[in-house]
Structure 1
Amino acid sequence: MVTRQTIAIIDDDDNVRSSLDSLLRSYGYSVHLYENAETFLTSGMVVSMDCIVSDIQMPGMNGLQMYQRLLDQGYLTPVIFITASTEDSPRFAARKLGACCYLAKPFEGQHLINCLATALNSLN
């Protein structure tokens, strides 16, 4: 039996969530969408995710804070951060937390697919 890998997309922008959902489903991934970090953390699905793709800048808890909370709770799920920010500090913070990839919006879909392959291979 083949198990599809499950990806969480966390972004406050409906268009980003929708386009990433379409892209990843076209590659055969099972995708769960969340409009913010708090919704994801309380979803009960955290343990089911093989990878997290999260925006950094969101209202409320940002993506970096969310991932730090997951790490503090012992979750080692690989994360790919995406952001429209042009500042260097989020990139450095993401790297320090151990992010697999960091993509600046807008990015090519193939770049995300390549990052996913890297992140999911780190699980083996």
Structure 2
Amino acid sequence: MPTKRPLIAIVDDDEPMRDAIKGLVRSMGFDAETFSSADDFLTSPHIRRTACLVTDINMPGMSGLDLHRRLVALGRSIPTILITAFPEKNVRASALGADIVGCLTKPFGEEVLLDCIRSALALSSEGESGS
């Protein structure tokens, strides 16, 4: 029986950025779904299958950090990669928890993002085998 490919969820209010990350993720053989807001992701049926979350920190409405905190509060700790065009040292320090695998400043290199995704998927599969 074929195993499902890991799903990478991309949450960013910047459509060209969402599309670029989605194309990169799919070119590496992963499934990808994009969302223009944290609320769209939270109400999607894909949340249960998400193995890695790539989210912008600065978005209208709920920020990427708030989205991550909401997921943790809901008991859905998803390995997360934060991306931002506005790096702030205090955000980076407060954001790095056990399931935050990276905090990337736009523009970032494809390999850097892919390394973070690989780390997230390793964390995700450890969580599944441990439960």
2:53 matched to 1:41? no
Correspondence for 2:60: 59
Give the deviation of 1:86 after TM superposition. Answer: 2.5
Of 105-114 and 37-46, more deviation after overlay is shown by: 37-46
Correspondence for 1:104: 105
SS in 1 for 2:77: coil
Q: Deviations over 1:85-114 (max 9, x none)?
A: 131122112114741111111000110000
Q: Which amino acid aligns with 2:60?
A: P
Of 42-51 and 52-61, more deviation after overlay is shown by: 42-51
TM-score (ref. length: structure 1): 0.95
Correspondence for 2:73: 72
CA distance in 2, matches of 1:47, 1:93: 26
CA distance in 1, matches of 2:49, 2:99: 20
Contact (CA 8 Å) 2:81, 2:103: kept in 1 or not? yes
Percent of aligned pairs sharing the same letter? 37
Q: Which amino acid aligns with 1:22?
A: G
CA distance in 2, matches of 1:57, 1:30: 24
Give the deviation of 1:42 after TM superposition. Answer: 1.0
RMSD over aligned Cα atoms:
1.2
SS in 1 for 2:100: coil
CA distance in 2, matches of 1:86, 1:30: 28
Q: Deviations over 1:29-64 (max 9, x none)?
A: 100000010111011221110110000000000000
Contact (CA 8 Å) 2:9, 2:35: kept in 1 or not? yes
Q: Which amino acid aligns with 2:107?
A: P
Correspondence for 1:30: 31
Q: Which amino acid aligns with 2:85?
A: A
Which structure 1 residue ranges, 5 or more long, are not aligned? none
Which aligned runs of 4 or more in structure 1 are off by greater than 4 angstroms? none
